[in-house]
Chain A
Amino acid sequence: MRPFTYERAKDAQAAVKAAAETPNAKFLAGGTNLLDLMKLEIEHPAHLIDVGRLPMAAIEDTSDGGLRIGAMATNSHLAADARVRARYPVLTQAIVAGGSGQLRNKATTGGNLLQRTRCAYFYDTTKPCNKRAPGSGCGALEGLNRNSAIFGASHACIATHPSDMAVAMAALDATVETLSPSGAARSFPVIELHRLPGETPEVETHLVPGELITAVVLPPAPQDSRGGSGQVYRKVRDRASYAAGLAAVAVAGGKIALGAVAHKPWRAAEAEAALAAGASPQEAIGRELDQAADNGRNAFKINLVRRLVPAALADAGEQGRGA
């Protein structure tokens, strides 16, 4: 690790102020992704602002029947919350599909959203990567791209976002709350948090420098026509446990989000619209996949998603034709 200075933030306002005033500063919460990347010298912040003990770990009911999840709530606590298990099972299923018990005990809600890609070229500092070293090129384009994106990629970057939790939140129409260095709070849909890579894959979110995620808010849980949850998370990967996904899908009340297939959690808007118009699950995901593209080794993901989504819809009891 390269040398850095460390401070523990007294409160959220002090944290964003310090982040705005200190060059090359980063927030540190659970540290499970950031410290790993710092050891590899992929991340090299000059200053860490520890926000891990800020009083933002509570999970609270909102007045409209939703849930407000503090950004410091650990993945384990969020997955185990009785309200989440009963009303948002897709979120619990997604969280426990990611990482290991030890990692989920440390990883936070805000940090999970901001974790970085597992693309092998991002991790290998001897290889080109526009995300790690802008302008150096993309080694994955014609390289080991088995787990690369099939939606929304660019010639500069075909990396995927690895979060499971964020995919469930995208399907649940969650909202992110933040605090800006100016002191202003704002909120926006979680699906608008991450960017597609375009020409600047190193810029991964729409957060401004120093902006701190303070909470994620879930709207009231969707219900299917039979009063069930209509929710399911399915993840396909190389090992049965503790492995990044090759493709994943979250279904919640007719909303569909895909994971491990794009630079961000991918809301399958075309498939949702087709389902709503009466298409079969197979037809609907086919409509979504009309815009998919592969780079060779990741071509199998297109068929994987073609089969995975109808299976998940069946699981969720969301057959599309008025089930």
Chain B
Amino acid sequence: MKTTITVNGEARALDLDPRTTLLDALREHLRLTGSKKGCDHGQCGACTVLVNGVRINSCLSLAVMHDGDQVTTIEGIGTPDRLHPMQVAFLTEDAFQCGYCTPGQICSAIGMLGEVAQNWPSQETAELTGKITLTDDELRERMSGNICRCSAYPQIVAAIKSAAGELA
């Protein structure tokens, strides 16, 4: 089935079995292996990408559902010589050990900061009609869809806080 998805700013024409998930289209067909397959069931967050600027689990979406969409993967967030501030913060704060969850963590964190900027609530938001403050509890709750098997959580929180300050 013919599908065109704009990935990291470049229109990519694909001809796919409808069963192909967005994650498999990125990894197996476009050879963008930065997005990781952890659980393949939306539980771990390693496959998180931005679709039209919004973070989703790419494993729980069919590629054909994204015809015409703008997808940003970790490869489009930054490059080794031009790192995104979130990537710099993860390095500076030592926010990983094995690194497998890291592309998903970084894409999710960037999407999450966009949600906070739009004042979207979370279950840690006590005053629903007020302005959101990104406390540690808010940050942890909002990142609960990303699991780190090495348990680098304290450093991940520190990295995201650091990048949030820089990006603000």
Residues of A at under 8 Å CB distance from B?
Answer: 1, 3-6, 8, 28, 31-32, 35-36, 39, 48, 50, 52, 76, 79-80, 82, 85-86, 89, 92-93, 96-97, 99-103, 105-106, 240-242
**CB atoms of B61 and A6 under 8 A apart:** no
Q: How far is the CB of A156 from chain B (nearest CB, A)?
A: 27
A242 vs B120: C-alpha distance in the bound complex, in angstroms? 17
For A76, what are the chain B residues with a Cβ–Cβ distance below 8 Å?
A: 54, 115, 120
A36 vs B108: C-alpha distance in the bound complex, in angstroms? 20
Q: How far is the CB of B67 from chain A (nearest CB, A)?
A: 8
Given contacts A6-B18, A31-B61, A101-B112, contact A96 B121 (CB under 8 A): yes
**CB atoms of A6 and B1 under 8 A apart:** yes
**CB atoms of A101 and B145 under 8 A apart:** yes
B135 at interface, CB cutoff 8 A: no
For B65, what are the chain A residues with a Cβ–Cβ distance below 8 Å?
A: 28, 31, 50, 52
**CB atoms of A96 and B60 under 8 A apart:** no
A303 vs B76: C-alpha distance in the bound complex, in angstroms? 51
**CB atoms of A32 and B42 under 8 A apart:** yes
**CB atoms of B145 and A242 under 8 A apart:** yes
**CB atoms of A105 and B56 under 8 A apart:** yes
For B111, what are the chain A residues with a Cβ–Cβ distance below 8 Å?
A: 101-102, 105
Q: How many residues of B sit at the interface, in one of the four size bands? A: 35 or more
For B64, what are the chain A residues with a Cβ–Cβ distance below 8 Å?
A: 6, 50
Q: How far is the CB of B125 from chain A (nearest CB, A)?
A: 8
B36 at interface, CB cutoff 8 A: no
**CB atoms of A101 and B55 under 8 A apart:** yes
- Known interface pairs A79-B121, A101-B144; 17 further A-B residue pairs with C-beta atoms within 8 A, sorted by A's residue number: A32-B57, A36-B60, A39-B40, A48-B62, A50-B64, A93-B128, A96-B122, A96-B125, A100-B144, A101-B142, A101-B143, A101-B145, A102-B55, A103-B57, A105-B55, A241-B144, A242-B144
For A48, what are the chain B residues with a Cβ–Cβ distance below 8 Å?
A: 18, 62
Could you tell me which residues of chain B, from 99 to 122, have a CB within 8 Å of some CB in chain A? 108, 111-112, 115, 118-122
For A31, what are the chain B residues with a Cβ–Cβ distance below 8 Å?
A: 60-62, 65
**CB atoms of A102 and B18 under 8 A apart:** no
For A241, what are the chain B residues with a Cβ–Cβ distance below 8 Å?
A: 123, 140-141, 144
For B60, what are the chain A residues with a Cβ–Cβ distance below 8 Å?
A: 31-32, 35-36, 103, 106
Number of A-B pairs, beta carbon distance below 8 Å: 104
11 A-B residue contacts at CB 8 Å?
A3-B19, A4-B19, A6-B1, A31-B62, A48-B18, A82-B129, A89-B128, A101-B108, A101-B112, A106-B56, A242-B144
- B26-70 vs A, CB cutoff 8 Å, 1 = contact: the mask equals 000000000000001110010010000011110011101101000
Given contacts A80-B118, A101-B115, A103-B145, contact A96 B55 (CB under 8 A): no
B73 at interface, CB cutoff 8 A: no
B87 at interface, CB cutoff 8 A: no
A32 vs B45: C-alpha distance in the bound complex, in angstroms? 13
A101 vs B145: C-alpha distance in the bound complex, in angstroms? 7
A106 vs B86: C-alpha distance in the bound complex, in angstroms? 24
Chain B residue at minimum C-beta to C-beta distance from A99: B145
For A240, what are the chain B residues with a Cβ–Cβ distance below 8 Å?
A: 141, 144
For B145, what are the chain A residues with a Cβ–Cβ distance below 8 Å?
A: 99-103, 242
**CB atoms of B62 and A6 under 8 A apart:** yes
For B72, what are the chain A residues with a Cβ–Cβ distance below 8 Å?
A: none
A103 vs B120: C-alpha distance in the bound complex, in angstroms? 14
A31 vs B139: C-alpha distance in the bound complex, in angstroms? 26
For A3, what are the chain B residues with a Cβ–Cβ distance below 8 Å?
A: 17, 19
Sorted nearest first, the 6 A-B pairs with minimum C-beta distance are A100-B145, A241-B144, A6-B18, A85-B128, A80-B120, A242-B144
For B143, what are the chain A residues with a Cβ–Cβ distance below 8 Å?
A: 101
For A28, what are the chain B residues with a Cβ–Cβ distance below 8 Å?
A: 62, 65
A97 vs B64: C-alpha distance in the bound complex, in angstroms? 30
A97 vs B141: C-alpha distance in the bound complex, in angstroms? 10
Q: How far is the CB of B21 from chain A (nearest CB, A)?
A: 7
A93 vs B122: C-alpha distance in the bound complex, in angstroms? 8
For A8, what are the chain B residues with a Cβ–Cβ distance below 8 Å?
A: 67
